[in-house]
């Protein structure tokens, strides 16, 4: 069994959540130290490893280690040993590939064109571990001039990498709208302030506002949860809408945010209800550095990634690294599989792991 496959299977058995990754981090640290890396943990749940090749510049490779609160149904012989927790987004594969790459880099230290920094981060699925890790200044201390990462991706041919310059993954902002009305018995409905009706009105207007953008500007706004009222025979006194906004360009995000906030003020004036619209900061868009992307494709030649025609509307906190250094993020195809975050997500052919490793080895050696 190839080491990268062995690592993935062993990691798949011990999924952990957020930044509480004691078994995962210990597993990663032991192998990095055995490879001769200088290892540290700048934030809880992280493991970072540096290989000094005596160069002026450093290339960084990122892998996310956290899992999801999902009960696994794959039936794999190496399925999760932690009830209610599962590597349903491929992070076990990302970590395994990066571990094998670190071992390869250590074995070929004198031939490396740059020093190498490996960033094994927590909390990609929750609170943005990448942002906190970047905040420690680790990229700047090690003079990182380029950063790479990849993500296992359903729908792309098994073992193939795919990418595009510019926008690859969306900015993600959670939207919470709280409408406060006045609850009265339905026999006195005219004396109340109907928060349910106002909430429905807000949802419809919000969809129309975001939908008014040109079709060539990718974006999506959807509310997946709406809670309102207490009983069937009383006017609702409170409605809470919970949704998500996905955009790419800063101008598009500002247009949508201002529009959603203005809708709240307009609706409050019309209905007399209180309307609070809150958007969290979320993750920035994954925006691949155009010049670095072109240099990578030119350097890899026939091994260059497939070019995607359109970006994905999923989000990723790799974007925080791209705020600090030129970066490119890639999709590693796993073919026709269940969707990410599904309890039965896996990939049939583990050849995707050595294929991803071979791709990153080529990136590592690019001049």
> Could you tell me if 332 and 352 are in contact, meaning their C-beta atoms sit under 8 angstroms apart?
yes
Which stretch of 71-85, 144-158, 215-229, 258-272 has the lowest confidence by average pLDDT?
215-229
Q: What is the mean pLDDT of residues 191-218?
A: 94
pTM flag (> 0.95): no
**Could you say which DSSP state residue 302 is in?**
G
Q: How far apart are CA 184 and CA 77, in angstroms?
A: 57
Q: Does pLDDT of 367 surpass 90? A: no
Statement: 3-169+285-364 belongs to CATH 1.20.1530.20: no
CATH topology of domain 171-279: Alpha-Beta Plaits (3.30.70)
Start-to-end Cα distance in the chain: 31
SS3 (DSSP) at 208: helix
- The full set of domain ranges for the chain reads 3-169+285-364, 171-279
> Could you tell me if 202 and 261 are in contact, meaning their C-beta atoms sit under 8 angstroms apart?
no
Q: What is the mean pLDDT of residues 84-109?
A: 98
What's residue 74's pLDDT?
97
Q: Does pLDDT of 286 surpass 90? A: yes
Bridge partners of residue 166, in order along the sequence: 288
Proportion of the chain above pLDDT 90, given as a percent: 97
Quickly list DSSP for 74-99.
S--TT--SSTT-B--SSHHHHHHHHH
pLDDT band for position 216 (50/70/90)? confident
Q: What is the mean pLDDT of residues 316-326?
A: 98
């Amino acid at each position: 069994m190839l080491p990268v496959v062995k690592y993935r299977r062993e990691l798949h058995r011990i999924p952990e959540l957020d930044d509480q990754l004691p078994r995962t981090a210990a597993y990663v640290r032991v192998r990095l130290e055995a490879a001769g890396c200088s290892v540290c943990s700048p934030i809880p749940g992280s493991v970072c490893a540096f290989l000094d090749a005596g160069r002026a510049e450093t290339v960084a490779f990122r892998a996310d280690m956290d899992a999801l609160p999902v009960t696994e149904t794959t039936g794999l012989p190496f399925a999760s040993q932690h009830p209610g927790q599962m590597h349903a987004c491929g992070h076990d594969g990302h970590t395994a590939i990066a571990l094998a790459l670190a071992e390869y880099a250590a074995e070929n230290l004198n031939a490396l064109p740059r020093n190498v920094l490996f960033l094994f981060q927590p909390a990609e699925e929750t609170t943005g571990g990448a942002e906190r890790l970047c905040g420690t200044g680790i990229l700047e201390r090690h003079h990182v001039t380029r950063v790479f990462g990849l993500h296992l991706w359903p729908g792309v041919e098994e073992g193939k990498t795919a990418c595009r310059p510019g926008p690859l993954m969306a900015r993600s902002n959670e939207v919470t709208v709280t409408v406060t009305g006045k609850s009265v018995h339905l026999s006195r409905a005219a004396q109340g302030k109907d928060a349910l009706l106002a909430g429905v009105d807000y949802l419809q207007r919000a969809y129309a506002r975001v939908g008014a953008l040109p079709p060539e500007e990718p974006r999506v706004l959807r509310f997946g949860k709406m809670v309102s009222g207490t009983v069937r025979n009383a006017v609702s006194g409170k409605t809470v809408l919970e949704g998500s906004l996905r955009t790419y360009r800063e101008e598009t995000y500002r247009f949508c945010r201002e529009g959603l906030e203005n809708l709240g003020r307009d609706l409050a004036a019309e209905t007399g209800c209180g309307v609070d619209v809150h958007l969290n900061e979320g993750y920035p868009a994954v925006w691949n550095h155009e010049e670095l992307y072109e240099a990578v494709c030119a350097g890899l030649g026939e091994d260059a990634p497939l070019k995607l025609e359109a970006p994905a509307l999923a989000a990723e906190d790799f974007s925080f690294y791209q705020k600090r250094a030129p970066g490119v993020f890639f999709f590693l195809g796993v073919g026709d599989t269940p969707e990410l975050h599904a309890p039965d997500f896996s990939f049939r052919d583990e050849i995707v792991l050595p294929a991803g490793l071979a791709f990153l080895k080529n990136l590592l050696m690019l001049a």
